[in-house]
Amino acid sequence: MSNFKLRNFVSLFVAWTGLISIVSGVILYLAPAGRVAFWVNWHLFGLTKKQWEAVHTVSSFFLAIFVIWHLILNWKPFINYMKDKMRKINFTVPEFLWSLLIAVILTVMSIYSIPPVSYIMDFGEYLTASWESKASRPIIPHAEKLTLKKYCDKMNFPLDRAIKRLNVFNVKGVSPDKTLEEIAKENGVAPKDIADMLNYQKSVNEDRSSVSETKKTKNMENSEFKDKDLVSPGRMRRGQGQGNFSGMMFIGKMNLKEFCEKAEISIDKAKNLLKKKGFGDIADNDMLRDIARKNGLMPRELGELLYSLREKDKTEK
């Protein structure tokens, strides 16, 4: 350490922190707005927007300290920049005046959004807005910060049904007092994914869309289970049925026994699965639509859950 040179260390530290500050600043310039970034759990190079903000803030903080330190260590050369030919400090030397003037002009143009400096901010806003879409916007501003209970209250969705619904989707750590962000983080998904699971209208739309697709390919009277994977990527991500359930028309009008017979599923296994998921005691003649409605599901979602038993039996064999 006897050869350690303080001036060199400070200069190099300024260079590294300056570089980190520039990189993080550019990334934040390109990043989506916070309401979108936190909602969809936006990442870049493995870091969230919050982490990039922390990197930028900390690097800029220490950069400021070390720039001052660097200035103190190099005070004499700095003062020499403002000396004239007579080696006297003169605030009218061209370098001093031009550097100060340009800095002031850029600051004023930034404050009053004067072109071409304003184009930098306009382009940044354009990039930020380009991340947004109807699908990525949070339903409620900063909804990820709301507890499950508060979110359900604001969405006018019964809490007990919400909890049952999340349990069906195999969501871990569900609690009324946990925020959507906390639940999402525990399950390795975005808060938006948790909200989608709770979004009853989204399920209705998916159900109608799926029915429409089936109508196009098959007559309603002959609709049946086929070896075709029509499970949506969203449901696959959430841990729903892993297999070939394409859905039968009007399964909501079937009772549990009829559905299990048609799908070649053991009714005892179906009842046990539903009991584990918190559905309570289910009778053979209970209608699928009633079972689904009481537990915050669409009949098709309930069908996919039950059909996962058939896929499990296949793999066990």
What's the pLDDT tens digit per position in 60-92?
999 999 999 999 998 888 788 777 666 777 777
pLDDT band at 199 (very low <50, low <70, confident <90, very high): confident
pLDDT on residue 317: 46
pLDDT on residue 232: 35
pLDDT on residue 21: 96
Tokens of 312: 């499990």
Q: Tell the residue number behind the tokens 């850029």, with chain if given.
A: 106
CA 187/CA 168 separation, integer angstroms: 14
Kindly state the percentage of the chain with pLDDT values over 70.
79
State pLDDT tens for residues 104-154: 999 999 999 999 989 998 988 888 777 776 556 777 888 899 999 999 998
CA 227/CA 216 separation, integer angstroms: 17
Burial 119-151, CB ≥16 within 10 A → b, else e: eeeeeeeeebeebeeeebebeeeebbbbbbebb
pLDDT on residue 229: 30
pLDDT on residue 2: 65
CA 115/CA 171 separation, integer angstroms: 51
pLDDT on residue 19: 96
State pLDDT tens for residues 201-255: 444 444 444 434 434 433 333 333 333 332 333 443 344 444 445 556 677 788 8
Side-chain half-sphere CA neighbours of 105 within 13 A: 9
Kindly state the percentage of the chain with pLDDT values over 90.
28
Dihedrals phi, psi of 89, to nearest 5 degrees: -65, 125
Which of 65 and 275 is assigned the larger pLDDT? 65
pLDDT at 269 over 50: yes
pLDDT on residue 260: 87
State pLDDT tens for residues 18-32: 999 999 999 999 998
Tokens of 49: 């927007």
Average pLDDT, the chain: 78
> Of the spans 15-29, 78-92, 162-176, 258-272, which averages the highest pLDDT?
15-29
pLDDT on residue 183: 93
pLDDT at 47 over 60: yes
pLDDT at 57 over 70: yes
